[in-house]
Amino acid sequence: MIFLSDVRKSYATNHGAFEVLSGVNLTIHPGEKIGILGKNGAGKSTLVRLLSGAERPSGGAVIRKMSVSWPIAFGGAFQTTLTGMDNVRFICRVYNRDEANARSYVDSLAELGRFLDEPVRTYSSGMRARLAFALSMLVEFDCFLIDEVVAVGDLRFHQKCEAELFEKRKDRAMVIVSHNEAYIKSHCTRCAVLSNGVLTAYENVDEALFYYQNING
C-alpha cells in the first residue's frame, strides 16, 4: 500500500511561501484505480511527483510499501545528448533489465525506427513522448502514476497506451491524475478532488464528479 499522511507541499516565491498541498491524506491499496480530479494549477502534478519520490513533502509523510513508477510518459529526465537507445540502456542498468529484450520492446511500442539510435535532442515532442511511455512500460511496477497520458501521441498511439496500461497491467494499482472527467470515469474505481490544496476523497466516482462540477461552476 501507499500512505499519504498530512502531506504538505510549499514552494518559495517572491511573496513568501506558497502552499500547493495542505494536509493531504490518502491510502492506495494494491490493484485499485484512483482518479485525482483538479483544474489546471490545482497541484495534481505536484501530488504525482510526491507519490513517485521525485520531490519530498514540506511536511507529513509519504510511505510506500509497493513499488511506484515515475509519472508515465515523463521525459524530463532524458539525457538529450545521448541516443534513445542509450537512455534505454540506462533504465536497464538501474532496474536490472535485459538490454536486447528492452530494445525490441521499445522499438515495437515507440515505433522510432532508426531514430532510436539518434540523440534525443533531435526528437520531436511526440517522439520524446513515445519513447518516454515505452521506457515507463519497461519496468513492472506495483503502482503506475498516470499524469494526463491520454494527451500523448495520436489516436493509434493512444490505443496502444490503453492496451499496455489497462489491459496488460489491469492487476496493478494506478493513480490517474486528470481534469478529463470521462477518462477518470472510464478507468477508476474511486476518486478524489483536489481544490485549493485540499484533497477530498470519495468512494463513488459519480459523487466526486458531481462535487468537481459544482466547485468549477
Domain range holding 113? 74-140
**Mean of pLDDT over the chain:** 89
**pLDDT computed for residue 45 by the predictor:** 87
**pLDDT computed for residue 70 by the predictor:** 86
CA distance 213 to 162: 26
**Residue 35 within a domain:** yes
Q: What is the CATH number of the domain that holds 53?
A: 3.40.50.300
| Whole-structure pTM value | 0.87
**Residue 162 within a domain:** no
pLDDT(149) > 60: no
Give residue-wise pLDDT tens across range 3-38. Answer: 999 999 999 988 888 999 999 999 999 999 999 998
**Residue 116 within a domain:** yes
**Residue 196 within a domain:** yes
* pLDDT > 90: percent of the chain: 59
Same domain membership, residue 179 and residue 136: no
**pLDDT computed for residue 167 by the predictor:** 93
Confidence of residue 144 (pLDDT cuts 50, 70, 90): very high
Same domain membership, residue 96 and residue 61: no
Confidence of residue 106 (pLDDT cuts 50, 70, 90): very high
- The C-alpha cell at 21 is 498541498
Same domain membership, residue 95 and residue 118: yes
Count of domains for the chain = 2
Same domain membership, residue 90 and residue 62: no
Confidence of residue 148 (pLDDT cuts 50, 70, 90): low
pLDDT(114) > 90: yes
Same domain membership, residue 78 and residue 46: no
Is pLDDT larger for residue 70 or for residue 75? 70
CA distance 144 to 204: 21
pLDDT(126) > 90: no
Query: Which strands make up the sheet holding 198-202, listed edge to edge?
Result: 68-71, 143-147, 173-178, 33-37, 190-195, 198-202
Same domain membership, residue 206 and residue 148: yes
CA distance 6 to 75: 29
Same domain membership, residue 95 and residue 48: no
**pLDDT computed for residue 152 by the predictor:** 57
Containing H/E element for 144? strand 143-147
In 3D space, the residue among 89, 69, 91 whose CA is nearest the CA of residue 172 turns out to be 69
- Overall average pLDDT of the 143-170 stretch: 81
pLDDT(171) > 90: yes
Confidence of residue 65 (pLDDT cuts 50, 70, 90): very high
Give residue-wise pLDDT tens across range 40-49. Answer: 888 998 999 9
